[in-house]
Amino acid sequence: MELFEVPPGAGPSLALHGGAGGRPKVLGLKRPAPYGDGLRAAYAAGWRVLAAGGSALDAVCASVQVLEDDPLFNAGRGAALTATGQAELDASVMTGDGHAGAVAASKYARNPVLLARAVMETEHVLIVDPDLGFLERHGAEAVDRSYFVTEQRQRELDRVLDGRVAAARHGTVGAVARDAAGRVAAATSTGGMVGQADGRVGDSPIVGAGVYARDDVVAISGTGHGEAFICGVVAHDIASRIRYAQAGLADAVRATIETELGRRATTGGVIAVGGDGRIVVAHNSPAMFSARGTGPDPAVTT
């Protein structure tokens, strides 16, 4: 397992991830994909919010929105395609005061994370397959389904369906933050697994599995084999170790990954920010894209 820890700073904290697993090869590109550029742009968007005194929720949504718009990452445009060649997108947000919103199998929202936030502001928590009317009523930008499908992802799907490569079980984006007022928030967004069955939903929109936040405790976003994160209730398990067993953030993250992912013989990773602003990024996969910091210049891992 690889684990990075950033001690608390004097102000806000921000961390984001662009997926865990092996470093993906983007078909059709003639040079290495600029994942680092995308991570830095997403971090900058979130940090601008925090530096201006904005909320942790606004910050994580700003960061994830940038990653959803970047076709290199498995969320929004450029997300993994289902077996029928369509994008079905999942996203969630949660604030440390116990509010959450999520969408699953979203087909039309340009930025699923913003639609998840809109759901949080209703009486509901999770909406499945929101239609165009729902988007219009809640002010979410709609796009044609073809917007999400890129040439690179279509090639990837073809190779999976032909049996030339195994379907990747990783690839999600997310962000966690603690703002100047001490509030925490988390957001997660994904296109799921390449070639997955239509209607399959992973952990990203499931509160307690792929996302969780509680003020003065922790905010968490996960990435990995979604079914394992759901069965292991990974995000909530980390929070419970901190809240009830008084475990340190790094120890709680490490123990949950070893217990809930290791014993299922699967891999993944999490980003977490503690109630004091401490940041932990950890994964038991070969690699994980991340950016984290307590200032405008993040540490970036690709």
CB 117 within 8 Å of CB 61: yes
CB 283 within 8 Å of CB 261: no
Amino acid at 163: G
Low pLDDT (below 50) residues in the chain: 27
pTM as predicted? 0.96
pLDDT by residue (tens digit) across 192-201?
A: 999 999 999 9
Q: Which two tokens stand for residue 190?
A: 């994904």
Q: Which residues pair with 265 in a beta bridge?
A: none
Instruction: Report helix, strand or coil for 110.
Output: coil
Distance CA(23)–CA(137), nearest Å, equals 39
Query: With pLDDT > 70 as the criterion, what percentage of the chain qualifies?
Result: 95
Catalytic residue among 172, 188, 223, 294: 172
Distance CA(74)–CA(233), nearest Å, equals 22
- Residue 170: per-residue pLDDT: 62
Region of 233 (left: φ > 0; alpha: ψ -120 to 50; beta: rest) is left
Domains of the chain in sequence order? 2-301 (3.60.20.30)
Q: What is the largest CA-CA distance in the chain?
A: 53
Would residue 150 show up in a list of annotated catalytic residues for this protein? Answer: no
- Residue 27: per-residue pLDDT: 47
pLDDT by residue (tens digit) across 197-248?
A: 999 999 999 999 999 999 999 999 999 999 999 999 999 999 999 999 999 9
Helix H or strand E encompassing 255: helix 249-256
CB 117 within 8 Å of CB 102: no
